[in-house]
Chain A
Amino acid sequence: MRLEIHGLTKRFGTFTANDAIDLVVEPGEVHCLLGENGAGKSTLMNMLYGLLEPTEGTIELDGKPVSFDGPGDALAAGVGMVHQHFMLVPVFTVAENVMLGREQTRAGGVLDRNAARAKVRELSERYGLKVDPDALVEDLPVGVQQRVEIIKALANQAEILILDEPTAVLTPQEIDELMDIMRELKAQGTSIIFITHKLREVKAVGDKISVIRRGKVVGTASPDASEAELAELMVGRSVSLVVDKDAARPGAAVLSVRDLTVIDPRGHMVVKDVSFEARAGEVLGIAGVQGNGQTEMIKSLLGLVRPDAGVIELDGRDISRHGPRQSLEDGIGYIPEDRSHDGFVGTFSVRENLVLDLYRSDEFSSGPRLRLGAIEENARARIAEFDIRTESPETPVASLSGGNQQKVVVAREFARDLKVLIASQPTRGVDVGSIEFIHRRIVESRDSGTAVIIVSTELDEIYALSDRIAVMYDGRIVAVVGPDTPREQMGLLMAGAVPDQPTTSSDGAVA
């Protein structure tokens, strides 16, 4: 089936998520879609799948314009989607998940489970998707769950299959298997829209590549383009955020991490034997594509997640068993990656959020009582110092713009003496003016002798701030490099194009 999209636009209020997107997917083609988080890929796919209604533009299937009222319509038209967060009912069996919504029944409305099983077996044989129809989905590894999603789409006679970042959650072996499956599907005539970050995969299976940035298709390429070219397309031309800073004068190691391992609640090892040191007066950048273990590693540094193995030392003291309160008192500053999730309390006022982790100190409370005067004074001082644009200190933080929300978090963390500052995505969703400001404060903090760790998926930001860059891939630090490393090489490292050798990480720790 041939899919054509013309001028597809989606606006949420004044925000344009997709701006006049044109795209053609030929039958039996693997069309790769590259783009950063928030670039608008998901919006586009949700419109294709009937979850969102386009503001403007048309979708054509085999030359006939279609409009989808819901996913049911898209399914009926032959569009299937494998969501990034699987749309599987965990407590159902594979067969039940596959049959859901299009159940075959025998007399009296009784489910025909045998027919469903047979269907699963047939599809799994035809496309080489090994899966047991009677297994409970929640017991299956992620890679197999994904196969179930694909079978679900195929059982629906999907002729166009959207795979939304399917490899983000897979192990390298599972990725290879998925590649084989995609080739098989393609061979049997299914068109595939494949969303990913990873160049190796694009080169392995892609027929055509489109890149989306800020809601627009900014370029197309063929898979025989060099990895360097693709890397540049993916991370964008350096808009060069210049931060005035002197050369770092690194001091002693303040935070040292050795063999840190974290296993997530589902039993997956998400941080694997990570070792590094953060030194006073230096910015350590941690680069990497989202979901390669950065989140969990950072959380374990603050004590929000207990490490399963390894040691975290602050000034030579083992803090790996400390909870967040102790870690904060130890002198760790923390700017979380998703500020509205755990960075601030949205219903609280600016004033209250500015002391969210400081209210315990004698400055802001005496006995059981809060010192409202001091809190108010602090708020006025911080608002002036950090230029937080708010109606008043009483305004709830949820009603501020993203940049100002982030400034509240940053202002709070900078309000006390820090030994280590951990900032995760410090400028995500922040306007340009605030980005500059936040970056300048981070460098000032470095110059005053704080060990700074920046985690960012924005390469520009990493380059602008870091004195040393550690690259994370698949839960490991695969390299520690200098800030003068060429972008192309960086892109390759982030995409896992360098085979991970265990020696790299230990070298890196010493480097």
Chain B
Amino acid sequence: MSAPLSPQTETVTPEPAGARSSRDLTRWLPTVRDTLVAIVLAFAVGALLIIVSDEESLEALGNIIDHPGSFLVYLGDFVRHSASAVFDGYSALVLGSVGSASSLERTLERSAPLICAGLGVALAFRAGMFNIGAQGQALVAALAAGYVGFTFDLPFLVHLCAAVAAALLAGGLWGGVVGLLKARTGAHEVITTIMLNQVARFVVLFFLAKEAFQRPGSNNLETPVVAESARFPQVFGLHLGIVLAVLAAVGVWWLLERSRLGFEMRAVGSNPEAARTAGMSVAKVYVAAMALAGMLSGLAACMTVLGLSQSVTENVMGSVGFDAITVALLGRATPLGTVLAGLLFGALSAGGVRMQTSAGIPPDLIQVVQALIVLFVAAPALVRGLTRVRRRTTTETKEAGA
């Protein structure tokens, strides 16, 4: 069977020699620069969206059209209103994410699951697979963690470990089956993960409708609250999740750069033919990478279910699994990059709440900006082209666009 989709992206492929070549700053500067430019561009488009949906700005714009005679007056109005709308929005975003201790804490809280699930996507990426299934893996894991958390009565730590283990197992199986299907039948992981995401949604709905999963006295589809003994404790005032996320990143780094399995994963991800010729089992790598990816998504689910929300609903994972893809892509599929990207997106997500309450801008803007960041990052030629247009003469714009 021929693959319907290309297994690996050219433009956003991780740079596997990353950790080592980081010593060589000149090699990394263009990447960092492109990423920064992409982020700035995305925010610029975001600002445009704020302006076109800001009533006062629109009014001023309307006045310009209605009264072309007073063009300059209304133009001034327009600029003033739009600048203030954008400033209000973005300053709320910054304040809400890093402006105070509590907002910083919220940023970290939200970053942790993003980093973990992002690591799962990144890991699969390095093994040559595009894992779109973090959402599904996280959902089934959330259900498993929640079930153990609210059903059993166990001592602290034992209970927590049991719940986490259940989540890892569920997530690992949900991911591993994708690797198995790819290794055995050549079923493309993009298709199977997309489908499994939807299946996971209905699996969760199915169980939520069962009595064993129903919160007493509630009419909504939600589970009982997770027992105290299964909740994430605070460590030195820090949410345990972020600690775990950083540990997971170190673990993934160790796996990829220091372990035998990681060596095989990177080899298979980069050149499966050469890996096979060198006696590696490509099938084993596919299964292992997807199972580990699923477990990382499972870990992300634990942070949400055993940390923030403490119960399971249909929407408990929000869009963490999809944001994880953008996080991994932005982080160039390296552990360090994923952590940084996760922190950025976590901050945006935390700041988005403040943006809504104090500037009245729907937090969905953040989703748009995130999507744009990834698109711009994935098309470095576009970003370079755009920046060149600004800097150089028009003769070269043609070349840049070509």
Q: A residues within 8 Å of B by Cβ?
A: 302, 304, 323-329, 334, 336, 341-349, 352, 356-357, 359-360, 365, 368-370, 372, 394, 396
Give the residues in chain B near A345, CB-CB below 8 Å.
266-267, 270-271, 274-275
Q: Is residue B309 within 8 Å, beta carbon to beta carbon, of the partner chain?
A: no
- B260→A394 contact, CB < 8 A: no
Task: Give the distance in Å from the alpha carbon of A394 to the alpha carbon of B275 in the complex.
Answer: 19
Q: List 10 A-B contacts (CB under 8 A).
A: A327-B279, A336-B277, A342-B274, A345-B267, A347-B270, A348-B16, A349-B17, A356-B278, A359-B263, A370-B258
Q: Is residue B359 within 8 Å, beta carbon to beta carbon, of the partner chain?
A: no
Q: Is residue B367 within 8 Å, beta carbon to beta carbon, of the partner chain?
A: no
Count how many pairs of residues, one from A and one from B, have CB atoms less than 8 Å apart in the complex. Answer: 77
- A369→B259 contact, CB < 8 A: yes
Give the residues in chain A near B21, CB-CB below 8 Å.
394
Q: Nearest-CB distance from B124 to chain A (Å)?
A: 17
Give the residues in chain A near B80, CB-CB below 8 Å.
none
Q: Which of the listed residues A326, A327, A328, A357 has the most CB atoms from chain B within 10 Å of its own CB?
A: A357
Interface code B276-299, partner A: CB below 8 Å = 1, 0 otherwise?
111111000000000000000000
Q: Nearest-CB distance from A372 to chain B (Å)?
A: 7
Instruction: Decide yes or no: A394 and B274 within 8 Å by CB, A359-B263, A368-B260 being known contacts.
Output: no
Which A-B residue pairs are the 5 nearest by beta carbons? A325-B279, A357-B278, A342-B273, A342-B277, A356-B278
Q: Is residue B261 within 8 Å, beta carbon to beta carbon, of the partner chain?
A: yes
Q: Nearest-CB distance from B122 to chain A (Å)?
A: 16
Q: Is residue B392 within 8 Å, beta carbon to beta carbon, of the partner chain?
A: no
Residue of B nearest to A355 (CB): B263
- B267→A356 contact, CB < 8 A: yes
- A357→B279 contact, CB < 8 A: yes
Residue of A nearest to B278 (CB): A357
Interface contacts beyond A341-B273, A349-B20, A352-B263: sample of 4 additional A-B pairs, CB < 8 Å, sorted by A: A348-B267, A356-B267, A356-B278, A394-B21
Give the size range of B's interface with the partner.
20 to 34
Q: Nearest-CB distance from A408 to chain B (Å)?
A: 12
Give the residues in chain A near B263, CB-CB below 8 Å.
352, 359, 370
- B279→A342 contact, CB < 8 A: no
- B258→A372 contact, CB < 8 A: yes
Give the residues in chain A near B274, CB-CB below 8 Å.
341-345, 356
Instruction: Decide yes or no: A365 and B278 within 8 Å by CB, A341-B273, A347-B17, A347-B270 being known contacts.
Output: no
Q: Nearest-CB distance from B166 to chain A (Å)?
A: 24
Task: Give the distance in Å from the alpha carbon of A324 to the alpha carbon of B272 in the complex.
Answer: 13
Interface code B367-402, partner A: CB below 8 Å = 1, 0 otherwise?
000000000000000000000000000000000000
Task: Give the distance in Å from the alpha carbon of A345 to the alpha carbon of B264 in the complex.
Answer: 11
- A359→B260 contact, CB < 8 A: yes
Task: Give the distance in Å from the alpha carbon of A360 to the alpha carbon of B267 in the complex.
Answer: 13
- A347→B16 contact, CB < 8 A: yes
Task: Give the distance in Å from the alpha carbon of A394 to the alpha carbon of B15 in the complex.
Answer: 13
Q: Nearest-CB distance from B273 to chain A (Å)?
A: 4
- B270→A370 contact, CB < 8 A: no
Instruction: Decide yes or no: A370 and B260 within 8 Å by CB, A325-B279, A394-B21 being known contacts.
Output: yes
Q: Nearest-CB distance from B60 to chain A (Å)?
A: 50
Task: Give the distance in Å from the alpha carbon of A81 to the alpha carbon of B284 in the complex.
Answer: 44
Residue of B nearest to A323 (CB): B279
Give the residues in chain B near A372, CB-CB below 8 Å.
258
- B261→A368 contact, CB < 8 A: yes
Task: Give the distance in Å from the alpha carbon of A355 to the alpha carbon of B275 in the complex.
Answer: 12
Task: Give the distance in Å from the alpha carbon of A343 to the alpha carbon of B267 in the complex.
Answer: 12
Q: Which of the listed residues B17, B263, B273 has the most CB atoms from chain A within 10 Å of its own CB?
A: B263
Residue of B nearest to A396 (CB): B17
Q: Nearest-CB distance from A439 to chain B (Å)?
A: 23
Residue of B nearest to A304 (CB): B277
Task: Give the distance in Å from the alpha carbon of A212 to the alpha carbon of B306 in the complex.
Answer: 72
Task: Give the distance in Å from the alpha carbon of A356 to the alpha carbon of B21 in the complex.
Answer: 20
The listed residue (A323, A347, A365) touching B260 by CB distance below 8 A is A365
Residue of A nearest to B23 (CB): A394
Q: Nearest-CB distance from A399 to chain B (Å)?
A: 10
Task: Give the distance in Å from the alpha carbon of A302 to the alpha carbon of B278 in the complex.
Answer: 10
Give the residues in chain B near A346, CB-CB below 8 Å.
270-271
Q: Which of the listed residues B16, B263, B266, B277 has the most CB atoms from chain A within 10 Å of its own CB?
A: B277
